[in-house]
Amino acid sequence: MTGARRRSRPASRAAHPPPLTAASPAPRTARSGETLALFQPPSSSPASRQPGPGSGHQPSRQLWVYVGLPQLAVEVLPADGRPTAVVAESRGRRSVVACDGAAARAGVRPGLSRDGARALEPGLRIVEQLPRREAAAVERLAHWALQFSPVVSCDPPEGLCLEVRGSLRLFGGLGPLLAQLEQGLRQLGHEPRLGTAPTATAARVLARAGRSDPVTGSGALAAALGPLSVRHLAFDARLVSRLRGMGLRRIADLARLPRDGLSRRIGRRAMQTLDRALGRSPDPREAFEPPARFRAVADLGQETGDMTLVEQTLAGLVTSLSGFLLARQCGIQRLALSLRHLKAPPTRVTVGLASPAREHGRLMAVVRERLARVALSAPVVEVGLASGPLMDLATPSGSLFAATVRDAPGTEAGPALPELVERLRARLGAAAVSSLRRVPDHRPERAWQRMEPAGAGGETSSLAAGQGPRPLWLLRRPELLTTRDGRLWLDGPLALEAGPERIESGWWDGGDVSRDYYVARDQAAARFWVFRERRGARRWFLHGIFA
Amino acid sequence: MDIQASGWYPTGSPLHSSVKGSAEGPIERLVDGRRIWWARGTQEAGARVLAGGTGYPALDAALPGGGWPAAALTEILSAGPGGGALSLVMPALARLTAAGGWIGWVAPPHTPYAPALEAAGLRPDRQLLVEAADDGAALWAMEQALRSGGCAAVLAWADTRLPGAETTALRRLQLAAGAGGSWALLFRPLAAGVRPSPAVLRLEAAPGRVRILKCRGGRPRWFRLQP
């Protein structure tokens, strides 16, 4: 029975498990004078380089801090005082995703079923998970974390990571930086778990495992990750139980195995995560970029109360703003001006536009109108301009041939009408300009409504059918009419022509009316819409004028 | 000005009637540049009118061009809001909104009542209501609305006395109407009739009657209206 010899692994591999450190550069002397003893010269020799993917990969001198937020799901909810658990649907049943401290003390744990949690703590507040709110909270934290490092990457919903190698000198060391980070996060109401490692994935593993001791050298990475459980690699729960069945419980067990066999068993993605955690392959992260805004300040050189000079300076700033917007193909709808004085608090003026714009002429027109309404309290020494959020604004293509026909004006609400509306509003106030809409209500004073110009039209209903004549002008408030010699009097006797039209409505919202409407004519043949109350004092009122 | 002098408008355009006589002779150039006025028969002279007429055949026959003057200032004097001034222009306004144009109402004496507007054929969602605190702001708003060309017609109400130099203010409105191509309508009390005005057309309105005070090539006379 020869032949079938059990295939065994190459002897060299079995005898000498490959060192876990990745390909290492030639040993360097530690930089003297470095304020931080972070880096130890790697000890392995180039000969025992492990043939991993991209075998020439050198781990870059990076230091990542992972901010894990295990209770983020609970922290985004408004505090209630009651113990809270957040549930989400997973594999067909609702189970707890996160719980706060009070619920944890009662025994509630992530992974418990919803009914089980309620059985443990009857007064538990159970809320559905809000993934969008969590993602927004992570983004806000990323904004905040930009003060620690320019390279921030979001990893919703678990947390975010920062690359802090360049900021260590500023903060005076890794320890003070981590302490500030943690204190700031706690003040913001979060319960952070920080992990520090040369790669972002390794930092995440450390944060999930709760190891807050920083791992600062790639040489120590393997040793730090080795004893940790496999589930901290964020593998699928099924994969973790399969690995446990194979007898692989710790990361060191995984790292010891040959690559091709392991990757066939656990899949490519899990292998990639393992490689990234151990520093064997690069771990690129998408950097978080805050949305751009425009901000500019111009010094007037001297104190001045002359608005024309202020306007001219602002015109220069608006020119650079429109260039900035043009380069990004964006427009803005809001502008914030600040006029700074020497001894008084700055005057802040907000300018709003009806639609996103970026042309210099249009922005300047609205700014000019708005400035005309500003009363200066002190001479201005500096003007500042800040734009609102940027909005996409596509440029309309120009036509090849010059326009030979002038379009009939006012037929479409093209750019002319919104510009007109915003210019009028800049001078007269936002409430002074509006459009009209008919409302289906029997009461005349409620049958119309103001509306935003170019908004959606009102409803046309069959209420119009069967109504009497309606006047073109409606008085804001019905005017009381006097009677003389038994006839109605309004600068002359009125004669009733048509009517009565009875309108009774509005008992349900307190505006109960019960009136008889008539059309009255005076001696100059002008027609008026008058009514008489049917209840109470039965007085006569003038409500509208026919034009 | 060059485009207007070339005299070509798309046929079927709701606002401008086709203009006869596109020959660029010296007389036409003088008339277009408003250096000389035709005493009679002004429709050949390039005076533009709003297409469709006023809605009142008797008025159409008396007005030069057979309709309201386009891109110019029209003044209508009446005894008050009920004086029949607004009903005079209703048919033309209805035609403008039906074509999708906007109507600006600057400082109206009362609120234009949306159900009545709808019954008269004006779309309420194409009316732009502008409220102004005083006459100066109202005239400024009217000028802005005319100049921008965003409104097909702008209606404004003013008193007998206008702030500042009166003819200057009215001439500015006239120029703004020409620049923007909109129809400017100014409603004033009867007492303003004695004051001179650069408006192209001046009417005095009473319920059921109208009198032309001033127009190009016409004579003042009263006549009755039947729509």
Q: How many angstroms separate the CA atoms of A385 and A330, rounded?
A: 17
**Token match 């972002």: residue?**
A200
* pLDDT tens readout for residues B20-68: 444 457 777 776 777 776 555 444 434 577 777 788 888 887 787 778 8
A416 exposure class (CB count in 10 Å sphere: 0-12, 13-18, 19+): buried
Q: Coil, helix or strand for A293?
A: coil
Residue reference for tokens 């799901």? A73
What pLDDT, on a 0 to 100 scale, did the predictor assign at position A407?
43
CA B81/CA B9 separation, integer angstroms: 36
Q: What is the ipTM of this complex?
A: 0.76
pLDDT band at B217 (very low <50, low <70, confident <90, very high): low
Distance of residue A452 Cα from the nearest chain B Cα, in angstroms: 9
Count A/B contacts: CB-CB distance under 8 Å. Answer: 198
Buried b (16+ CB within 10 A) or exposed e, A258-267: ebeebbeebe
Query: Kindly report the CA angle at B55 between B54 and B56, in degrees rounded to 5?
Result: 90
**C-alpha atoms less than 13 angstroms from C-alpha of A16 in its C-beta half-sphere:** 7
d(CA A451, CA A458): 9
- Interface test mutation site (partner B, options A366, A368, A438, max chain B beta carbons within 10 A): A438
Query: What is the rounded distance in angstroms from the CA atom of residue A106 to the CA atom of residue A344?
Result: 56
Q: Please, which residues 136-165 of chain B have a Cβ atom closer than 8 Å to chain A?
A: 137, 140-141, 144-145, 148-153
DSSP summary character for residue B192: G
| DSSP 8-class letter at B55 | S
Q: Does A416 touch chain B (CB under 8 A)?
A: yes
CA torsion through residues B194, B196, B197, B203, sign: positive
Angle at which helices A259-266 and A268-278 cross, to 10°:
130
pLDDT at residue B104, as a whole number: 92
What is the Cβ-side half-sphere exposure of residue A328, based on CA atoms within 13 angstroms?
18
Q: Which of A406, A412, A420 to mutate to test the interface with B (most CBs of B within 10 A)?
A: A420
Distance CA B14, CA B51 (A): 6
Q: What share of chain A is helix, strand, coil (3-state, %, to 5)?
A: 30, 25, 40
CB contact under 8 A, B140 and A437: no
CA nearest A453 in B: which residue? B128
User: Where does residue A366 rank: exposed (0-12), middle (13-18), buried (19+ CB within 10 A)?
Assistant: buried
What does the block give as tokens for A243? 């690995």
Q: Which chain B residues touch A470 with a CB distance below 8 Å?
A: 113, 115-116, 119
| B140: nearest CA partner in chain A | A424
The verdict on A480 touching B (C-beta cutoff 8 Å) is no
The A193-197 sheet, strands edge to edge: A151-155, A159-163, A64-68, A193-197
C-beta atoms surrounding A224 within 10 Å? 22
Question: Would you state the pLDDT for residue B218?
Answer: 62
Residue ranges of the alpha helices (H) in A156-236? 168-171, 174-187, 200-209, 218-225
With an 8 Å Cβ cutoff, is A372 touching chain B?
no
What residues have CB less than 8 Å from B66, skipping those under 6 apart? B43, B49, B53, B60
CB contact under 8 A, A428 and B144: no
Which of A408, A435, A472 comes nearest B113 by C-beta?
A: A472
CA pair distance B108, B93, nearest whole angstrom = 16
Q: Do residue A528 and residue B82 have CB atoms under 8 angstroms apart?
A: yes
pTM given for the model: 0.52
Given an 8 Å threshold on Cβ–Cβ distance, is A474 in contact with B110?
yes
User: How far is residue A278 CA from its own chain's centroid?
Assistant: 35
Which tens digit of pLDDT belongs to each residue from B63-102?
Answer: 877 788 888 889 998 887 777 888 888 888 988 888 888 8
Helix axes A218-225, A200-209, angle to 10 degrees: 40
Report the residue from B113, B117, B150 with minimal CB separation from A416.
Answer: B150
Tell how far CA B107 is from the center of its chain. Answer: 17
Chain B segment 33-72 residues within 8 A of A by beta carbon are none
Whether B15 contacts chain A with CB within 8 A: yes
Q: CB-based contact (8 Å) between A404 and chain B? A: yes
pLDDT at A465: 61
CA separation for the pair A93, A112 (Å, rounded): 10
C-alpha to C-alpha distance for B108 and B115, rounded to whole angstroms? 17
Query: Within 13 Å, how many C-alpha atoms sit on residue A460's CB side?
Result: 10
CB nearest A410 (choices: B10, B140, B149):
B149
Residues of A in contact with B120 (CB under 8 A): 472
Of residues B220, B172, B188, B177, the one with CA closest to residue B73: B177
Contact with chain A for residue B179, Cβ under 8 A:
no
Give phi and psi for A7, each to the nearest 5. -70, 125
Q: Judge: B150–A526 Cβ closer than 8 Å, yes or no.
A: no
The pLDDT tens digits along chain A (547 residues) read: 444 455 544 444 444 444 444 444 444 444 444 444 454 444 444 444 444 444 445 556 788 999 999 888 888 887 777 888 888 887 788 888 888 888 888 888 888 888 888 888 888 888 888 888 888 888 888 888 888 888 889 887 788 999 998 888 888 888 999 999 999 888 888 889 999 998 889 999 999 988 888 888 778 888 888 888 888 888 888 888 888 898 888 888 888 888 888 888 888 888 898 888 888 888 888 888 777 788 888 888 778 888 888 888 888 888 888 888 887 788 888 899 999 888 888 889 888 887 788 888 888 988 988 888 888 888 888 889 998 888 877 666 666 554 433 444 444 445 678 888 888 888 888 888 999 888 888 888 888 888 888 655 555 554 556 678 889 999 988 999 888 888 888 888 888 888 788 988 888 888 888 999 999 988 888 889 999 998 888 889 999 998 7
Measured between alpha carbons, how far is A492 from A522 in angstroms, rounded to an integer?
7
Residue ranges with strand state E in A109-210: 125-128, 151-155, 159-163, 193-197
Consecutive H or E run containing B188: strand B183-189
Q: Which of B17, B89, B125 to mutate to test the interface with A (most CBs of A within 10 A)?
A: B125
Distance CA A544, CA A475 (A): 5
Separation between Cα atoms, residue B85 and residue A84, nearest integer Å: 70
- B114, A464: Cβ pair inside 8 Å? no
Q: Rounded to an integer, what distance in angstroms lies between the CA atom of residue A5 and that of residue A500?
A: 113
* SS3 assignment, position A172: coil
Beta carbons of A363 and A321 less than 8 angstroms apart: yes
Task: Please state whether beta strands A64-68 and A193-197 pair in parallel, antiparallel, or not at all (unpaired).
Answer: antiparallel
According to DSSP, residue B24 is labeled: -
Of A488, A508, A522, give the one whose Cα is nearest residue A441: A508
